[in-house]
Amino acid sequence: MTRTRNLYLIPYAAWMLLFVATPIVLIVYNSFFDVEGHFTLGNFQKFLTPVYLRMTFNSFWYALLITAFSLLVAYPTAYWLTRTKHKQLWLLLVIVPSWINLLLKAYAFIGLFGTYGFVNSVFEMVGIGTQQILFTDFSFVFVSVYIFIPFMILPIYNAIEELNPSLVYASRDLGASPWMTFRRVVFPLTLGGVKAGCQAVFIPALSLFMITRLIAGNRVVTLGTAIEQHFLVTQDWGMGSAIAVLLIIVMAVIMLMTGNRGARNTIR
Amino acid sequence: MKKNGKLAQSYLVVVFLVLYAPILYLTYYSFNSAGTMQGFEGFTLEWYKEVFHDTRLFIIVLNTVVIALLSSAISTILGVVGALAIQRVRRNRPRNTLLAMNNVLIVSPDVIIGASFLIFFTMIGIKLGFTSVLLSHIAFSVPIVVLMVLPKLQEMSPTLIDAAKDLGASGWDVLTKVVLPFLRPGIFAGFFMALTYSLDDFAVTFFVTGNGYSTLSVEIYSRARHGISPSINALSTLIFLFTISLVVGYYFLTRRSSRKPDWGVVQP
């Protein structure tokens, strides 16, 4: 190719500068100001108080739980999906629910988990009796896992599809049991997909706020909820920005640790 | 490869049941004349009538569609320009910087994107409403389009362009008659991806939409917070049907364009 001036770069770089770099710089800048607009480090100091530290711990704990459960459900699903007839069609059927608006699904669970909802009537029938399901930690984790499952299944499915089947045959021929083949051959070779899936679930799970509001009824307060609260309810943008900045730092660390691949875009 | 055993099959069935349960549940109770999500009283189409007579809802649906189409069209153009720009940067360092910048918005949690855009729009004095929502949807869609187009661009052999130039094509001809037709699958994929992201987005929109302007997901959120309203059920059924018809349409479209039977592929 001849050396031509890269005219395309101007609009693109300008756009990225304006809509990627500037907002981030602004959010960092904002985190150093209090409500009255004075320069302060107080926001970060406030973050180090037990209230916020517990919130941070909670967010990570829930995000970890959500990721772990998603993986636990998604891996067998993906594994067995690759071995069905018409697997492309089945895979599509897994993806379709992820196209339905997240809020509609959360809304459905309000009905399903309600005091007189479907789940409780089943409980009633088998004799467990009505339970409080909505507004508990369980319902929060369950709904989140439900929402993230397709994002976990897809990268794992792709990784298993890429696996050369002759490796599995070789391992079986050499006398490994099915479990051993899975543990020593299949799982290590699909670890890339697992990582991508975990990343696609963990980061959004850290900042969920609509589900905490709708399903967990403000019982679970995550960093995402706190940011939303500070920006839209109490209007304390400085504190909200400070939390956001810390979340960005944590995210960057996670990305560096797992190798940065835009995993979220592997679906839809 | 081996077929699945009984256990695997029942596991998959359970996963699919859980995946579709909320959607079917919503649909079922959209016909409930009692107007609740428990105790089916009698069949009615009243809620559908209500949805179709709700002008406010109609305007909101219109807003959502307009934003989605406009933002994905503009972001597709910007994204193609961006991909061409990145492709032309030959040196590794600036190229990686550009790619990293591109990935920032893809991996950021929605809450942070929303919060930083809220600060950004307030600072530069854009009134919250249609413009701010449109701009932020374009902003988070551009990187997705770039990622869909770039691999296609790298796949393209440079000899194609050399040949076109040898045969006397001008720069514009090369772009419109050689490069863009080659990129078409990537461009379409990027456009649809941007469309679904825009239709599905809640968190970012929730931050940057001011008073008086609303998209569907924001509206559903505010209605769902007030508890169960049967018109949401009817609406979600309609959205679900629309999604399914899109998927079926897409399925037949891809089937016709590629003669290869890539649906229900042969087992390796």
The one-letter amino acid at B241: L
Higher pLDDT, B247 or B238: B238
How far from each other are the two terminal CA atoms of chain B, in whole angstroms? 7
Residue A39 dihedral angles phi and psi, to the nearest 5°: -65, 135
* Range picked from A41-45, B64-68, B167-171, B256-260 for highest mean pLDDT: B64-68
Q: Give me the pLDDT at residue B262, please.
A: 39
Instruction: Please indicate if any CB of chain B lies within 8 Å of the CB of A157.
Output: no
Spatial separation of the C-alpha atoms in residues A149 and A93, rounded to whole Å: 12
Query: What residues 47-76 of chain B have any CB closer than 8 A to a CB of chain A?
Result: none
Scan residues 94-123 of B and list those with Cβ closer than 8 Å to A.
98, 100-120, 123
**So what's the pLDDT on residue B84?**
92
- Is A264 in contact with B107 (CB distance < 8 Å)? yes
**Confidence tier at A18 by pLDDT (50, 70, 90):** very high
Which letter does DSSP use for residue A18 in this model?
I
Q: Residue A109 above 80 pLDDT?
A: yes
Number of Cβ within 10 Å of residue A147's Cβ equals 22
Is the per-residue pLDDT at A1 higher than 60? no
Dihedral angle, C-alpha B121, B126, B128, B134, nearest 10 ° = -80
B20 by Cβ neighbours in 10 Å (0-12 / 13-18 / 19+) ranks as middle
Q: How far is residue A268's CA from residue B12's CA, in Å, rounded to a whole number?
A: 21
Per-residue tokens: A209: 């706020």
The string of DSSP codes covering A175-240 is T--HHHHIIIIIHHHTHHHHHHHHHHHHHHHHT--HHHHHTSTTSS--HHHHHHIIIIIS--HHHH
pLDDT tens digits for range B41-81: 788 888 888 888 888 888 998 999 999 999 999 999 999 99
Q: Span A42-49, mean pLDDT? A: 87
pLDDT of A55-85, one tens digit each?
888 889 999 999 999 999 999 999 999 888 8
pLDDT tier at B3, thresholds 50, 70, 90:
low
Confidence of residue A95 (pLDDT cuts 50, 70, 90): confident
Placement of tokens 């770099």 in the chain:
A21
Please state, in angstroms and rounded to a whole number, the distance separating the CA atoms of residues B151 and B143: 13
> pLDDT value at position B268?
33
In whole angstroms, what is the distance from residue A217 CA to residue A165 CA? 47
- In this prediction, residues B174-195 reach a mean pLDDT of 89
A89 touches chain B (CB under 8 A): yes
Residue range B219-243, pLDDT digits in tens = 888 888 887 778 888 888 888 888 7
CA distance B83 to B151: 9
pLDDT mean over B180-200:
88
B186, amino acid identity: G
Question: For residue A89, is pLDDT > 90?
Answer: no
pLDDT at B233: 85
Cα–Cα distance for residue pair A94/A80, rounded to 1 Å: 13
Q: Is B202 in contact with A101 (Cβ distance < 8 A)?
A: yes
ipTM of this complex prediction, to 2 decimal places: 0.82
Q: Kindly report the CA angle at B84 between B187 and B94, in degrees rounded to 5?
A: 130
Confidence tier at A262 by pLDDT (50, 70, 90): very low
Residue with token string 């005091």? A115
How many CB atoms within 10 Å of residue B248?
10
Give the Cα separation of A130 and B145 in Å (integer). 48
User: Domains of chain B (ranges plus CATH)?
Assistant: 17-51 (no CATH), 54-225 (1.10.3720.10)
Where does the pLDDT of residue B255 fall: very low under 50, low under 70, confident under 90, or very high at 90 and above? low
For domain A38-266, the CATH superfamily is: MetI-like (1.10.3720.10)
CB pairs under 8 A between A and B: 250
Q: Which residue of A has its CA nearest to B115?
A: A231
Give residue limits of the domains in chain A: 38-266
Judged by a CB distance cut-off of 8 A, whether residue B153 touches chain A is: no
Q: Residues near A204 by Cβ (< 8 Å), separated by ≥ 6?
A: A148, A264, B109, B110
pLDDT at res. A26:
93
- Residues 166-185, chain B, touching A (beta carbon < 8 A): 171
Q: Which of A69-78, A243-252, B134-143 has the lowest mean pLDDT?
A: A243-252
Q: Mean pLDDT over residues B201-209, rounded?
A: 91
pLDDT in tens, A202-231: 888 887 888 888 887 777 788 888 898 899
To test the contact with chain A by mutation, choose from B112, B172, B188, B255 the residue with the greatest count of A C-beta atoms within 10 A, namely: B112
Residue A4 pLDDT grade (very low, low, confident, very high; cuts 50, 70, 90): low
CB nearest to B15's CB, from A77, A85, A228: A77
- Name chain B contacts of A4, Cβ cutoff 8 Å: 88, 171
* Amino acid of residue B91: R
Structure tokens at B67: 């934003």
Q: Is A164 on the interface with B (CB under 8 A)?
A: no
- pLDDT value, residue B122: 92
Taking the C-alpha atoms of residue B213 and residue B59, their distance in angstroms, rounded to an integer, is 10
Which of A117-121, B138-142, B185-189, B238-242 bottoms out in mean pLDDT, i.e. has the lowest?
A117-121
Closest CA to A119 of B231, A129, B20, A103: A129
Quick one: what percent of chain B has pLDDT higher than 70? 93
Query: Nearest CA to B206 among A167, A113, A192, A102?
Result: A102
Q: What is the pLDDT of residues B80-120, one digit of tens each?
A: 999 999 988 888 888 888 888 888 888 888 899 999 999 99
- Pick from A11, A86, A247: which is nearest to B109 by CB? A247
Q: What average pLDDT does this structure show over B195-211?
A: 88
Task: Label residue B83 exposed, middle or buried (CB < 10 Å: 0-12, 13-18, 19+).
Answer: buried
Q: For chain B, what is the mean pLDDT?
A: 85
Question: Among candidates B236, B227, B112, which has minimal Cα distance to A228?
Answer: B112
